[in-house]
């Protein structure tokens, strides 16, 4: 009898044509952990029947919910950026090269989010979840780490089909912390030690359960969008501009750029750019605590911008949309 171990696991995804209509996954995603579950509601009988004990429990709704953390690389991040934000522009060729820029922006109130089928092979059992929609996307990186992306998801149903697909990891180099740069209003900021940000769709998870003759969620609708994050820096003459913006409540443009050392063609590299046109800085101002360097924490929140609340551009070699 085999022992279920994490090392035997794998995961894959594929975009669905319609929400909740499961498809066979074909794209490997490099997950490092996950907690996606089918949370089955059990309803107490509750009635009196001449006994001190509970009579029985009845099976109620099935609530697919959880998250997975994965390594970001050029072959896996594009489709999930679309799933998280909701809109992908037509790919734009970079001059006359084989490089293409894919712009992802938040969907408006009238545009529904896309969905995907998620397959997780857990060593003993292959679990397949349909109608997966991204509730939050969190990017994090620090010294000595790869660029990690966490996706919290809401789903429709777990399939009985447990056939494992043969999927192959990407051969591309992952994005790494030391490949990143940070810009404020287009100017570089030195000595950023770590960063994180979370884009949220605020999905109405409970509202999807309606009187439609099914125990599964009927749909997963987004509500108000948010983007919050933080950076850990050292206090320098360049990072001091952030302290000034905090004190003055001045909106700033914040841009994170990760450029791989792997070329699409000579001089053009796989690149991930997160551009947030307007953020308010929420503190904290630096203070002296030791005789050594002065740590500087910056928390930020994105606010409305008429062009883009946020835009994430992925430069790769794909000539068609990731969402196609």
Which pLDDT belongs to residue 121? 92
pLDDT class for 1, splitting at 50, 70, 90? low
Greater confidence (304 vs 8) lies with: 304
Which of 244 and 274 is assigned the larger pLDDT? 274
Residue 133 has pLDDT above 90, yes or no: yes
Q: Which residue has the higher pLDDT, 216 or 243?
A: 216
Q: Which of 59-68, 70-79, 96-105, 117-126 has the lowest mean pLDDT?
A: 117-126
Q: What is the mean pLDDT of residues 25-51?
A: 94
Domain assignment present for residue 280? The answer is yes
DSSP 8-state class, residue 141: E
pLDDT at 287 over 90: no
Confidence grade of residue 256 (pLDDT, cut at 50, 70, 90): very high
Asked whether the whole model's pTM tops 0.85, one would answer yes
Q: d(Cα 130, Cα 66) in Å, to the nearest integer?
A: 13
**Predicted local confidence at residue 295, as pLDDT:** 83
Report the alpha-carbon distance of residue 323 to residue 14 in Å, rounded: 10
Helices assigned H by DSSP within the chain: 77-85, 240-248
The average pLDDT across 212-230 equals: 95
CA 74, 228, 150 angle in degrees (round to 5)?
A: 40
User: What residues form DSSP beta bridges with 254?
Assistant: 184, 276
- Expressed as residue numbers, the domain containing 245 is 8-41+62-316
User: Cβ neighbours of residue 180 under 8 Å, at least 6 residues apart?
Assistant: 141, 147, 195, 256, 257, 258
Q: How many CB atoms are located within 10 Å of the residue 193 CB?
A: 13
pLDDT average, residue stretch 226-243: 89
pLDDT at 285: 79
Strand-strand pairing, 252-265 and 180-184: antiparallel
Place of tokens 């960063």: 195
Q: Specify if 264 maps to a domain.
A: yes
User: Would you state the torsion angle of the CA atoms of residues 140, 142, 148, 151, taken in this order, to the nearest 10 degrees?
Assistant: -20
Across the range 256-266, mean pLDDT stands at 98
Is 88 domain-assigned?
A: yes
Q: What is the mean pLDDT of residues 130-136?
A: 98
**Dist CA 43 CA 8 (whole Å):** 35
Assess whether pLDDT exceeds 90 at residue 14: yes
Phi/psi for 208 (5° steps) reads: -80, -10
In a domain, 119, yes or no: yes
The total domain count for the chain is: 1
What is the DSSP secondary-structure string of 58-74?
EEEEEEEEEEEEEE--T
Cα Dmax for the chain? 81
pLDDT of residue 164: 82
> Is 46 part of any domain?
no
CA–CA gap between residue 215 and residue 266 (Å, rounded):
54
Q: Minimal CA–CA distance to 125: which of 24, 9, 14, 216?
A: 9
Pairwise pLDDT comparison (152 vs 125), residue with the higher score: 152
User: Is 80 exceeded by the pLDDT of residue 284?
Assistant: no
Structure confidence by residue, pLDDT tens digits, 67-88: 999 999 999 999 999 999 999 9
Higher pLDDT, 32 or 297: 32
Question: What is the pLDDT of the chain when averaged over all its residues?
Answer: 94
In a domain, 198, yes or no: yes
Percentage with pLDDT > 90 across the chain: 81
Residue 225, pLDDT > 70, answer: yes
- Sequence-ordered strand ranges (E) for the chain: 10-15, 27-28, 31-34, 37-44, 57-71, 86-88, 92-93, 100-106, 116-121, 126-142, 148-155, 157-158, 180-184, 187-188, 192-200, 226-234, 252-265, 268-281, 295-302, 311-316
Q: For residue 57, tell me if it sits in a domain.
A: no
Domain membership flag for residue 322:
no
Identify the residue whose tokens are 């994090």.
140
């Amino acid at each position: 009898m085999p022992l279920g171990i994490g090392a035997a696991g794998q995961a894959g995804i594929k975009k669905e044509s319609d929400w909740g209509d499961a498809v066979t996954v074909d794209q490997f995603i490099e997950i490092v952990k996950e907690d996606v579950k089918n949370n089955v509601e059990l309803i107490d009988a509750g009635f009196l029947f001449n006994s001190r004990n509970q009579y029985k429990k009845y099976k109620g709704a099935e609530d697919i919910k959880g998250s997975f953390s994965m390594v970001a690389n050029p072959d896996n991040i594009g489709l999930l950026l679309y799933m998280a934000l909701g809109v992908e522009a037509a790919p734009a060729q970079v001059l006359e090269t084989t490089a293409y820029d894919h712009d992802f922006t938040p969907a408006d109130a009238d545009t529904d989010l896309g969905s995907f089928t998620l397959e997780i092979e857990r060593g003993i059992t292959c679990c397949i979840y349909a109608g997966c929609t991204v509730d939050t996307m969190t990017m994090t990186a620090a010294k000595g780490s790869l660029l990690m992306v966490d996706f919290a998801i809401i789903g429709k149903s777990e399939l009985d089909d447990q056939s494992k697909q043969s999927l192959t990891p990407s051969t591309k180099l992952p994005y790494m912390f030391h490949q990143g740069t940070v810009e404020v209003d287009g100017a570089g900021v030195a000595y950023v030690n770590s960063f994180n940000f979370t884009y949220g769709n605020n999905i109405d998870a409970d509202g999807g359960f309606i009187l439609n003759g099914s125990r599964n969620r009927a749909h997963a609708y987004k509500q108000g969008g948010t983007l919050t994050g933080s950076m850990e820096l050292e206090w320098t003459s360049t990072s001091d501009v952030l302290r000034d913006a905090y004190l003055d409540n001045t909106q700033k443009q914040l841009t994170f750029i990760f450029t791989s050392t792997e070329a699409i063609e000579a001089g053009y590299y796989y690149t991930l750019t997160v551009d947030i046109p307007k953020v308010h800085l929420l503190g904290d101002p630096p203070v002296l605590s030791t005789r050594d360097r002065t740590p500087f924490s910056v928390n930020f929140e994105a606010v409305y911008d008429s062009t883009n609340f946020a835009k994430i551009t992925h430069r790769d070699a794909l000539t068609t949309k990731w969402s196609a």
